[in-house]
Chains A and B, each alone.
Chain A
Amino acid sequence: MENPNKSILEGIIFVFGEDGITLEQLSIAIDYPADLIKILLDELITHYKHDDRGMELVVFSDKYKFITKPYIRSYIERILTLSKTRSLSQSALETLAIIAYKQPITRIEIEEIRGVGCELMLKKLAAMDLITETGRAETVGKPILYSVTESFLDLFKLMSLDELPHLPNYEDSTEESQLFE
């Protein structure tokens, strides 16, 4: 028989909507051990992956929530006026990537990798709530350190930064030949 807790979890996650809810919160809500809840949630995730479901259960930034599958949007557009999908410029994406992989990181360090100034870009990204100041480096001038936010994880479908795709390692020679094809 299905564990009744599973349907309760499903209902709770639904109500929390875009804000999502953490494993810990769920554990408190139904007074059930977190590791067992994790198993149930994994089952739910598999269940929703199936083609006959229009939503999927995701974990972004350690928060469980339901989002629609990508192909649903075109149907919704027929009945709702949706705001245009956001887009990020190449330089915004590059800056975000550098911060995500190197955080916490100062502006100077980012500029060194990109070879261009990015003060304005950092302000823009901060205003979009994709990066945030997370302290100051203990070096001369105590420069501001930047890190990515929860919104960043959500925007790039990541449970945590550990889920970032691996940076290619060309120095290990095996991948060299694939470069610049």
Chain B
Amino acid sequence: MVRFQVDLDQFEGPLDLMLHLIKEKKLDLFNLEVDVLIDQYIDFIHGLETTQLEIASEYLVELATLIEYKSKKCLPVSDLGLDVADYEKDTKDELVRRLIEYQKFKDITQKLQVRFEERQLQMDKPSDSLYLNEIDDQYHYYESDVYELIKAMEKCIARFHLSHPSQVQFTKNEISLEDRMDQLYHMISADQMLYDFEDFIKDIGSLNLFIVSFLAILELVRQGILGIESVSDQKITLKLGEKYGKPE
């Protein structure tokens, strides 16, 4: 026999479970054989007791009601038994009424879910706070709770994300001093000529590269590989140094 593999977690509550049982046993909700349903329900809960340590109290409350109903039915109907008959009928009607009511909301929930999911895909733009400042000023201060703060915070975060496109990337292209010295050495040794210092640095895009270049030039000058010449109009030129050779 296939083990009955159903977990309470998949139900929203005892009513949901009952609707599931009705569907599974192909019972008619509108002409409900309550006894069959009750037996199914009781069996189900009993079946779970061995495998699931905790059964939510709601299921047990419902179970107790059903067992009470069943036991009352077993009592012989005395001459004064009108009360019992009424009780039976009331309990049954009440159960059916609740099941039908719950089924309605289960159905409508599916429709709402569709609307909800579509709305999730539709975006709107934050109102232009720049222009709306005047309106904001008219808001009165009022007593608030922590949830208001959470809501406000979420709104801020959402706006922050919107204003920071993911495409913006900050990448650091770092080059070591040694590599830069090598580069400069190769440039100069290939051309064997004077460089205007300003020309030399004009293509440098980042501050980082600029600093490394500057340090590289200083180091090359210190080692005598590069020479510096300054002419009258404060123009600085780079030339090959006295100890021209590969940097150390």
Contact = CB atoms under 8 A, between A and B. Distances in A.
A116 B8 CA distance: 13
Contacts of A48: none
Given A114-B12, A115-B58, A116-B14, A167 B108 contact: yes
A42 interface: no
A154 B116 CA distance: 9
B31 to A, nearest CB: 10
B58 A156 contact: no
Interface string B117-152: 111111111111001100000000000000100110
Interface stretch (B45-53, B82-90, B162-170, B223-231): B162-170
Nearest to B15: A115
B120 A113 contact: no
B109 A93 contact: yes
A75 B109 CA distance: 30
Contact of B103 (A67, A87, A117, A170): A170
Contacts of B120: 85-87
A40 interface: no
A97 B115 contact: no
A80 B151 contact: no
A115 B14 contact: yes
B115 A115 contact: no
A47 interface: no
Interface residues of B, number: 52
Interface stretch (B73-81, B94-102, B182-190, B200-208): B94-102
B243 interface: no
Contacts of A4: none
Contacts of B98: 112-113, 115
B233 interface: no
A114 B58 CA distance: 10
A35 interface: no
Nearest to A171: B100
B127 A18 contact: yes
B173 to A, nearest CB: 23
Interface in B15-72: 15-16, 22-23, 29-30, 56, 58, 62
A97 B114 CA distance: 13
Contact of B119 (A129, A154, A176, A179): A154
Interface in A144-181: 154-158, 165, 167-168, 170-171, 176, 179-180
Interface string A63-76: 00111111111001
A66 B112 contact: no
A36 interface: no
A157 B119 contact: yes
Contact of A17 (B102, B103, B128): B128
B123 A73 contact: yes
Contacts of A176: 30
A39 interface: no
Contacts of A73: 121-123
Interface of A: 15-19, 56, 65-73, 76, 79-83, 85-88, 90-91, 93-94, 96-98, 101, 112-117, 126-127, 129, 154-158, 165, 167-168, 170-171, 176, 179-180
27 contacts: A15-B127, A18-B124, A19-B132, A66-B125, A67-B124, A68-B122, A68-B123, A70-B122, A81-B161, A93-B109, A97-B105, A97-B109, A113-B101, A116-B12, A117-B58, A156-B115, A156-B116, A165-B108, A167-B104, A167-B108, A168-B104, A168-B108, A170-B29, A170-B30, A171-B100, A176-B30, A180-B29
